[in-house]
Amino acid sequence: MPELLFMKILAPLVIGAITYTCLMDVIQDVFRQQTATIQAINQRAQSEQHRQLATAQQQKAAAAHATQLANEQYISELRQRAAAQRAKEQAWDATYQEPKGCDNWKTDAQMVACVDGKNAARRAFDQRWDAGEIPGSKKQTP
């Protein structure tokens, strides 16, 4: 009979211990699953953050490259315009001959006549240049 008493006392303790062990196993499995889920979410978030950062860096590099190309194009256009203007001024200097007496004015009327003559000659030159009639002008250049 002591065995029966021992079983009555021991059985609930053994059942309690087994239940406790099973519950702890279940809790640990749930904890492992949640930890794995959290780690997977963190890894996806980190991967997305890296992807966004890489995309932003690529966009920044592309914008910098586009800006550099635009600046180079602008500088090239400025150089071309400056070269064209120099060519025009050289052609003007080569073709314009100041009338006799306009290098040393004696009267105001003479000065006005010389300046007006030079301005008229410049306008005529500019028209001929723009029409491509003067060697070296844009329309003359092959």
- Do 88 and 103 meet the contact criterion of CB atoms below 8 Å apart? no
For 75-117, the pLDDT digits (tens) are 999 999 999 899 999 999 999 999 888 888 889 999 999 999 9
Coil, strand or helix: which one is 136?
Answer: coil
Q: Is the pTM of this model over 0.75?
A: no
- Do 114 and 105 meet the contact criterion of CB atoms below 8 Å apart? yes
For 30-83, the pLDDT digits (tens) are 889 999 899 999 999 999 999 999 999 999 999 999 999 999 999 999 999 999
Question: Per-residue b/e over 71-102, b at no fewer than 16 CB within 10 Å?
Answer: eeeeeeeeeeeeeeeebbeebeeeeeeeeeee
- Do 122 and 95 meet the contact criterion of CB atoms below 8 Å apart? no
Is the pLDDT reported for residue 2 higher than 80? no
